[in-house]
Amino acid sequence: MKRLPTFIFAISMIVTAGLIPALQAGGQTPPPLAAQVIKPGLYWVEGGAGANTGFWIGKDAVVVIDAKMTPDAAREMLAKIKELTPNPVQSIVLTHSDGDHVNGLTGFPQGLKIVSQETCKTELEAAFTDPALRAYLPTVTFKDRMDLLLPGGSIRLLHFGSAHTSGDAIVLFPAEKVAFIGDLAFIGRDPLIHKSKGGTSFGLTATLKSILALEADTFIPGHGKPLAKSDIEGLLKSVEDKQAQVKDMVARGKSLDEVKKAFGIEEETAQPGRRRWPSLVEVIYLDLTEKK
Ligand SMILES: [Zn+2]
C-alpha cells in the first residue's frame, strides 16, 4: 500500500470509529454539506461530519437515510430538507450501527420512527451509552426484508446476512432504481469489515452478489460518490481475488504473518485510545481459519 492511501485509510478508520467527531481527513473541518438530486424527489447528501446520507420526499413526509455523525451535521441536513419541502421528516432508516452514520440522531426531533435491521438495533443498544442517544434507539426493526409503503412511493429494506457488520440494511427505492448501501462498498481502498460486530468477508461477497441482482442502477455508498453496477462488480472481483489468494496460502499452511507479509501489509499497532482495524487480508484469513 502506498503512503497516501494508507494515511487516508487511517484517518477514515478514526472517523468511522467516531473518535474525533468534529474532524475529518487532515484534521480540517469537513467539506460543507450538500444535497444532490439522484432522481426526482430522491437526494444523497455528502459533506458535513460523518458518512453520506440521503432523503426521499414523499407526498406528505420525508424519509431520511442515516443520521450523520454529529447533531450539528444532522441539523444542517434538516435545514437543507426544509429548503426543498415543507413536509416533515417522518422516519429515519439506518444502514448500520457505526458512529459516523448514527451519532447525529440527537439532532433530529424526538419521536420519529427509526428503522433498522434487528441486529443493528442490538449493536446500538450496546453502543448508545449516552442517555441522549438512548432516546433514539430504533423503534421498528426487520430481519431480512421489509417494505415501507408510503404516500407517493415505497422503500424496500433488505438484509443479506452479515457483511460489513451483522446488521447491515440495504435501502432500495424500487421505482427510482436507487439503493443506499451504507458501508458495503468502498472504492479505492479495501473494504472495512467489522469483525467485532460479526462482519465477514465471505458475507460481504455474498451480499455484493445480492446487491448486483437488485433492479437498481445507482448505488449510494456511505463514503465517496454514487456508484454504478460496474463499480460493485469491480469491488466484488477484487475481494474474491484476495479471498482466493489467501485461501491458497492457508491451504499451503501459511501463517497470518506470512500472509500479511506476502500482501505487503505492515503491522499496524493501535495507538492509545484508538481501535486497531484488521486489514481485509487479515479478516479473510480469520474467516478461513477461525473455528465457527
Ligand atoms: Zn460502517
138-186 pLDDT, tens digit per residue, is: 999 999 999 999 999 999 999 999 999 999 999 999 999 999 999 999 9
Cα 151 to ligand 1 centroid, rounded to whole Å: 30
8 — pLDDT class (breaks 50, 70, 90) = very low
Cα 24 to ligand 1 centroid, rounded to whole Å: 15
Residue type present at position 150: L
- Fold classification of 3-289 is Metallo-beta-lactamase; Chain A (3.60.15)
CB neighbours of residue 279 within 10 Å: 21
Cα 170 to ligand 1 centroid, rounded to whole Å: 13
189 — pLDDT class (breaks 50, 70, 90) = confident
Select from 260, 249, 251, 258 the least CA-distant residue to 283. Answer: 260
Cα 185 to ligand 1 centroid, rounded to whole Å: 10
264-276 pLDDT, tens digit per residue, is: 887 666 566 656 6
98 — pLDDT class (breaks 50, 70, 90) = very high
Cα 127 to ligand 1 centroid, rounded to whole Å: 13
Cα 223 to ligand 1 centroid, rounded to whole Å: 9
In contact, 43 and 68? CB cutoff 8 Å: no
pTM over 0.85: yes
Query: How do the domains of the chain map onto residue ranges?
Result: 3-289
Q: What pLDDT does 55 receive?
A: 98
How far apart, in whole angstroms, are the C-alpha atoms of residue 290 and residue 292?
A: 6
Q: What pLDDT does 188 receive?
A: 86
Cα 112 to ligand 1 centroid, rounded to whole Å: 23
10-31 pLDDT, tens digit per residue, is: 444 444 444 333 444 445 688 8
Cα 251 to ligand 1 centroid, rounded to whole Å: 31
Q: Is the pLDDT of residue 83 over 60?
A: yes
Q: What pLDDT does 245 receive?
A: 96
Q: What pLDDT does 270 receive?
A: 57
Cα 190 to ligand 1 centroid, rounded to whole Å: 13
Cα 180 to ligand 1 centroid, rounded to whole Å: 13
Cα 182 to ligand 1 centroid, rounded to whole Å: 7
